[in-house]
Amino acid sequence: MAFYHPILFRLDAERAHTLTIAALGAWGKAGTPLAPSVPRLATTVAGIAFPNPVGLAAGVDKDGRAIDSFFGLGFGSVEIGTLTPVPQPGNPKPRIFRLPEDRAVINRLGFNNGGLDAALSRVCSPAKAGAQAGSPPSRGNKVLGINVGANKDASDRTADYVHGVTRAAPHADYITINISSPNTPGLRDLQHGAALRDLLAACTTAKGTTPIFLKVAPDLEPADIDDIARAALDNRIDALIVNNTTISRPGLRSANAKETGGLSGAPLAPLARQRLSDFRKATGAAIPLISVGGVDSGAEAYARLRAGASLVQLYTALVYEGPGLPARILRELDALLKRDGFTTVGDAVGVDA
């Protein structure tokens, strides 16, 4: 998906996205940061010091080709991936569809990526205790997440996740286990029962000291939410990312509304807010929550924080608002915190929950 520009919007969505990432990758080597550091926005989550609570969601820079550029736009964290052990092409094209009337996107990409090893070769990793020889240099206070998944044809998906966690751990500030994409058949089955508990137990054993996050779907029943919350607590998951794209279609107007795949963007916001509330209650606020889905302004980010999110992530809003969005959200968020008398962003987390 490409940032908004009239010329780019005339192109196929995936082609435009590829061109955008290539351009950002080139700019990142010499670009000037667009957002200054704001002390009030610094926060610590899962033992990680984030310069601000606004992160880039996985799926934008799948293969880690423009990491520095996204930090330059102002993001406090950048999550690359989803990465699988073996490269895979994903689902047939076309597989990304803009819904401009709804300020939304539907995708059915299917974990298309060049493989974990290729992406790790591009990652700038901080020096970490126990890091592998030859780890890239430090990024300072910039937080990098690596999102891992399973190959579509894997005979043992848990083994794929363990491989991803093991390989990514020396290079990541945190690792996300993505079992919530709707575009890999059967993947969401890992969100339930013994399959989930076995997966989390295996991955937490493999992670070493690197924090591990779990990304969940919005399309869940109350019993599912309670089960996921309990499994996360039992396995000491460091944070929950709530949530991925949805297979629901809430009142869409665009011509592409009937395309299959995961819906993201503005129409997801009400469901994302509800799931944030649900997981806050189900976990008893014992696990940090990262809210994703329809975050497109400082006011929306602030509302999610007050509702219990420790961090927020965004993706689709960049398509419609452009590369200046992260810096604008940070300015707006800082002004709102100052208006309401909060010294730090952490002071606002959960005050309305």
What are the residue numbers of the active site? Answer: 181
Task: Single out the residue of 108, 107, 97 nearest to residue 254, CA to CA.
Answer: 97
Interatomic CA distance for residues 197 and 200, integer angstroms: 5
Residues contacting residue 138 through CB under 8 Å, at least 6 positions apart: 124, 126, 127
Task: Single out the residue of 98, 249, 77 nearest to residue 147, CA to CA.
Answer: 77
Count helices and strands (H / E) in the chain. 10, 13
The dihedrals phi and psi of 199, each to the nearest 5 degrees, come to: -65, -50
The rounded radius of gyration (Å) of the Cα atoms in the chain is 19
Interatomic CA distance for residues 159 and 203, integer angstroms: 9
Q: How many CB atoms lie within 10 A of CB 36?
A: 9
Please list the helix, strand and coil fractions of the chain in percent, rounded to the nearest 5, in that order.
Answer: 40, 15, 45
Q: How many CB atoms lie within 10 A of CB 282?
A: 22
